[in-house]
Amino acid sequence: MAARRTPVVLDAMGGDHGPDRTVPGALAAHREHGVPVILVGRADEIHRRLRRHGASGEVEVWHADDAVPMTERGGRTAFRRASSLMVGCELAGRKGLPFVSAGPTGAVVAGAVRALGRREGVRRPALAVALPTVSGSTVLIDAGGTADPTAEMLAQFATLGAAYARDVLGVRDPSVGLLSIGAEPGKGNRLVRDAARLLPDLPVRFHGNVEGHDVLAGTVDVVVTDGFTGNVVLKNIEGCVRAVLGLAADAGIADTGPLEEVARLYAADTHGGAALLGLTGTVVVAHGSSSPAAIARACAVASDLAAGHAPVHVPRAAGRGR
Amino acid sequence: MAARRTPVVLDAMGGDHGPDRTVPGALAAHREHGVPVILVGRADEIHRRLRRHGASGEVEVWHADDAVPMTERGGRTAFRRASSLMVGCELAGRKGLPFVSAGPTGAVVAGAVRALGRREGVRRPALAVALPTVSGSTVLIDAGGTADPTAEMLAQFATLGAAYARDVLGVRDPSVGLLSIGAEPGKGNRLVRDAARLLPDLPVRFHGNVEGHDVLAGTVDVVVTDGFTGNVVLKNIEGCVRAVLGLAADAGIADTGPLEEVARLYAADTHGGAALLGLTGTVVVAHGSSSPAAIARACAVASDLAAGHAPVHVPRAAGRGR
């Protein structure tokens, strides 16, 4: 924590609660994780909250007039040049710093593509999340970047996901599974059947199809799916863990403490946001309902990703057995 | 249990383990649930196992030469006229009895459509599963019947799912949610956005979009999705509950007994198969890896569905608080 960490540009207006969450989040990122944050958004609103936290001058503020509403779907974002999202993205691009936003996923993806640009050869960026499994972590990609990808995009997500598992999680030769509705080749919807024909020719270790129950079983290191299914699965896991907790309490488990610890592993608050892969810069998309602690974690993850280290949350999840 | 229950036609060759599971499953259905079963498949293989269980003559056997392999995708099934699946389906149709198979979902759907026919106006049948939630049950439809539906089919699944919630679960005016990746209208993939425009005109109480975390939260009575996403979600729930159990054991929860009880609620073994809706007869599709107990439950559910009663598993799940 004492070492100097890579600063992060944070979209102060993003998320369901805007600066009410992002300002204390930025302070927590700095104070608890040692990550310096540049807050981008309406300067008066930000400064007012900094004063309230007795933290004037502690965090750098960069003004942006406009804010992208949470209902925005993405298409128009690139034209909101004065929004905290676009101003922040462009600032991050110029400075070579990571960018974090809890804004609407589609808008962040569109804005980041516009401001940062895709890495050469990449058709669409994809969101990657590292999920804790019984044996370690599994990368779920795409967790919501592209709702209607083509089979070629899906195949490319496999390459991006494998690179993430290798570079960020330190998996030497990651295995890649294609999420489908039957393990046998040929099972799936049209998109998956088409992608399954492309994957064996790619330079990734293709395991074949995996199913819904494999996602958290550690069957493969990387689970590839379209952004619609991936987002549903990610949120379904959060809901499922919550439901198990509720039913366990009903069933009379006296001490749900350790179970709540498990639930926290899967809560949006803990996994600290999804990395948007395939761009020339580092972008982390946090949950719209992120708490200040979740914003702080997303900043820490972005800082680590940009510095080329494994994000803090990954060893934590994998090393729960202490 | 003492009352005479509707007999069930069971595909003895279906499932990953064929008669090794279906024969003891049929015996358990009869002995433990009071449901008479007609086993359809290779008579010699069935009789050999009946003898081994000391149950010759206890269950009716109907011979069929052929068996549909578990890798079958569906298209050719209707031409396998001598398969246990087609012979069983046609027998069920002629006798007006419910049919149960643990065969490949696509094949069961194709065979059932061919043998029984769709109800008037129904474009495609859909699989419905009642999932236990903290407050009761939620119907997930389609859980794997049609992997690539059109928006019109998805809208029809809403009607089928609402009817199931009303007639089988006894929900007076069921609310219906469309599974998507954002609660706001207009969020989703192309299919969902198109379906969202059709749903408000239907005679169902349309709640709007729901997300992955809503499935087990009891947000709506019916969650509508395509068969690909629905099947992934269903299996993801099973895997998630298993992962939570594993992590809880690691985290040092001493007494996982009540938690295992919760896990059983979501195990494939317990929910006893999915009802294939939209046909002129009752069809229940059991998990390919079903245990004999799961086969027996699927038979009990099919018997109840055909008799117009709520399946045994539903009140059980809802009434877990005793």
Residue A75 is predicted with a pLDDT of 64
Percent of chain B with pLDDT over 70: 89
Q: Is the peptide bond before B44 cis (omega within 30 degrees of 0)?
A: no
Residue A319 is predicted with a pLDDT of 29
Q: Looking at residue A234, which CATH number applies to its domain?
A: 3.40.718.10
Q: Is the CB of residue A311 less than 8 Å from the CB of residue A272?
A: yes
pLDDT at B44 over 90: yes
pLDDT at A177 over 60: yes
Residue A271 is predicted with a pLDDT of 60
Residue A314 is predicted with a pLDDT of 33
Put simply, the answer to whether A147 touches B253 (Cβ < 8 Å) is no
pLDDT at B14 over 90: yes
For residue B122, being part of any structural domain is answered with no
Q: Is the CB of residue A112 less than 8 Å from the CB of residue A99?
A: yes
Closest Cα in chain A, distance from residue B95 (Å): 32
Residue B186 is predicted with a pLDDT of 84
Residue A26 is predicted with a pLDDT of 97
Lowest mean pLDDT among A248-252, A269-273, B87-91: A269-273
Percent of chain B with pLDDT over 90: 65
Residue A183 is predicted with a pLDDT of 87
CA-based torsion, B90, B91, B95, B97: positive or negative: negative
Mean pLDDT (chain A) is 88
Separation of alpha carbons A283 and A88, rounded Å: 11
For residue B248, being part of any structural domain is answered with yes
Q: Are residues A226 and A304 in the same domain?
A: no
pLDDT grade for A185, boundaries at 50, 70 and 90: confident
Separation of alpha carbons B262 and A247, rounded Å: 6
- A56 in contact with chain B, both atoms CB, cutoff 8 A: no
Angle at A149 between CA A137 and CA B187, to 5 degrees: 90
- Among residues 201-230 of chain A, which lie with CB inside 8 Å of chain B? 211-217, 225-229
Closest Cα in chain A, distance from residue B180 (Å): 7
For residue B92, being part of any structural domain is answered with yes
- Which of A232, A235, A253, A316 has the most B C-beta neighbours within 10 Å, making it the best mutation to test the interface with B? A232
pLDDT grade for B256, boundaries at 50, 70 and 90: low
Q: In 3D, which of A237, A262, A259 has the Cα closest to residue A249?
A: A259
pLDDT grade for B3, boundaries at 50, 70 and 90: low
Residue B176 is predicted with a pLDDT of 98
Q: Is the CB of residue B106 less than 8 Å from the CB of residue B138?
A: no
Q: Are residues B187 and B153 in the same domain?
A: yes
pLDDT grade for A266, boundaries at 50, 70 and 90: confident
Percent of chain A with pLDDT over 90: 65
pLDDT at B1 over 50: no
Residue B141 CB neighbours (<10 A)? 29
β-partners of residue A39 are: A10, A61
Q: Which domain holds residue B163?
A: 127-270
Q: Are residues B172 and B250 in the same domain?
A: yes
Q: Are residues A8 and A49 in the same domain?
A: yes
Residues of chain A found within 8 Å of residue B232, distances taken between Cβ atoms: 179-181, 211-212, 225, 229, 232-233
Give the ipTM of the model, two decimals please. 0.85
Q: Looking at residue B318, which CATH number applies to its domain?
A: 3.40.50.10950
Strands B274-277 and B126-132 come out as: antiparallel
pLDDT grade for A63, boundaries at 50, 70 and 90: very high
A-B Cβ pairs (cutoff 8 Å, strict)? 194
pLDDT at A132 over 90: no
pLDDT digits (tens, 9 = 90+) for A20-46: 999 999 999 999 999 999 999 999 999
Separation of alpha carbons A30 and A34, rounded Å: 5
Q: Are residues B194 and B260 in the same domain?
A: yes
- A249 in contact with chain B, both atoms CB, cutoff 8 A: no
For residue A321, being part of any structural domain is answered with no
- B20 in contact with chain A, both atoms CB, cutoff 8 A: no
Residue A74 is predicted with a pLDDT of 66
B285, two tokens: 């599709």
Please tell me which residue of chain B has the smallest CA distance to A143. Answer: B181
pLDDT grade for A286, boundaries at 50, 70 and 90: very high
Lowest mean pLDDT among A232-241, A274-283, B300-309: B300-309
Tally the domains of chain A: 2
pLDDT digits (tens, 9 = 90+) for B95-140: 999 999 999 888 999 999 999 999 988 999 999 998 988 788 899 9
pLDDT grade for A162, boundaries at 50, 70 and 90: very high
The mean pLDDT of A258-281, rounded to a whole number, is 76
Chain-centre distance for alpha carbon A253: 33
For residue A318, being part of any structural domain is answered with no
pLDDT at B320 over 50: no
Lowest mean pLDDT among A89-103, B128-142, B173-187, B249-263: B249-263
Residue A322 is predicted with a pLDDT of 26
Q: Are residues B184 and B319 in the same domain?
A: no
- B236 in contact with chain A, both atoms CB, cutoff 8 A: yes
pLDDT grade for A307, boundaries at 50, 70 and 90: confident
Q: Are residues A259 and A295 in the same domain?
A: no
Separation of alpha carbons B20 and B18, rounded Å: 6
pLDDT digits (tens, 9 = 90+) for B152-192: 999 999 999 999 999 888 899 999 999 999 888 888 999 99
Separation of alpha carbons B164 and B145, rounded Å: 16
Higher pLDDT, B270 or B168: B168
The mean pLDDT of B223-250, rounded to a whole number, is 89
Residue B165 is predicted with a pLDDT of 92
Residue A4 is predicted with a pLDDT of 80
For residue A314, being part of any structural domain is answered with no
pLDDT grade for A89, boundaries at 50, 70 and 90: very high
Which three-class secondary structure state does DSSP give residue A128? Answer: strand
pLDDT at A254 over 80: no
Q: Are residues A103 and A155 in the same domain?
A: no
Lowest mean pLDDT among A259-273, A297-311, B74-88, B223-237: A259-273
Residue A268 is predicted with a pLDDT of 59
Q: Are residues A142 and A271 in the same domain?
A: yes
Separation of alpha carbons B65 and A45, rounded Å: 76
Residue B316 is predicted with a pLDDT of 30
pLDDT at B226 over 90: yes
pLDDT at A106 over 90: no
Which three-class secondary structure state does DSSP give residue A249? Answer: helix
pLDDT at A118 over 70: yes
Mean pLDDT (chain B) is 88
Residues of chain B found within 8 Å of residue A237, distances taken between Cβ atoms: 212, 236, 240
Sheet holding B205-210, edge to edge: B60-63, B37-41, B8-11, B99-101, B283-285, B274-277, B126-132, B137-141, B222-224, B175-179, B205-210
For residue B295, being part of any structural domain is answered with yes
Q: Are residues B247 and B305 in the same domain?
A: no
- B234 in contact with chain A, both atoms CB, cutoff 8 A: yes
For residue B154, being part of any structural domain is answered with yes
Q: Where are the alpha helices (DSSP H) in chain A?
A: 19-33, 43-52, 84-95, 105-116, 151-167, 190-198, 227-250, 257-266, 268-271, 292-307, 313-318
pLDDT grade for B268, boundaries at 50, 70 and 90: low
pLDDT grade for B317, boundaries at 50, 70 and 90: very low
Q: Are residues A201 and A189 in the same domain?
A: yes
- A192 in contact with chain B, both atoms CB, cutoff 8 A: yes
The mean pLDDT of A198-204, rounded to a whole number, is 95
Residue B183 is predicted with a pLDDT of 87
Q: Is the CB of residue B95 less than 8 Å from the CB of residue B9?
A: yes
Q: Are residues A163 and A201 in the same domain?
A: yes
